[in-house]
Structure 1
């Protein structure tokens, strides 16, 4: 994983890496970037403390901001359908986003916002200890691997555990991408089971 650097401002609590619970509490009270001013609820992520598969999206949308949970809106329905088609139980994966607060008007997260949240995502990956990390969309791929171009990168495994694929929101815009997303989830499932 790339190493992000912390922005100026609030220091992270010293115990935020002790458990997913302490990490979630730190995320819910975070004011490291201006997105804290826009959010209704921060969205730390959810799933088992240990999961073979970890999914990373871009940022919470309107529904996620209201619920405080990842992928509960229309893109979440697509994700649930794709997970089901791949034979993966949502309850057995950890789901999070690059940034934990909704950007205004669902715009793409800015570099400073990604950097502010980077320690949280890095800690989630360390604590969950997944065998496969699925980077859904360009924002997640850029944040973790520092590369873009999901269309050309998808389906390939990087650094032994990272797999780039389409974001479920892309499937909402182009239903033809669903088959590729399911295929990539199957690759991750095979890696996690192997």
Structure 2
């Protein structure tokens, strides 16, 4: 075999090994996060380094369920991140502007009804102007934004399939602007300095 053919063969083998390794990195506990449009496995090595190892992110990666949903300690931060990173397209209350509304039971991408699907769309992007956010938001910030989006849901609790049965019983559809407590207890509670 000539050196050039051997070199091409080794390059192809190396590329295939890299693809397999990247796919394994993006899979956690049997959950495979996929790009909303292409279906390709998402590569979490591309994510910002901060916010990858929080307990919330670890729990989410293992379960596909956002542990921050309806956690009052995460909502204020999620709201602030949403207002700065998302509201320009999706509206201040996720009612939709250039981008689709996110506060009702209609999902442009049906998989966004699940936390796993919504996360995949935020991380890897969607059609048109919805670019991937993995270089703009940390994984932990994405979960906080998702919790805020879910909090803004304005329809009946039984349509909020991402909530546990216990959360659905306590859930009140979003009725308008509300004042969130400054530092409630919970997973995202600010530590005393």
TM norm. shorter chain > 0.5: no
Q: Which has the higher strand share?
A: 1
Normalised to the residue count of structure 1, the TM-score between the two structures is: 0.28
Q: Pick the structure with greater CA Rg.
A: 2
Normalised to the residue count of structure 2, the TM-score between the two structures is: 0.29
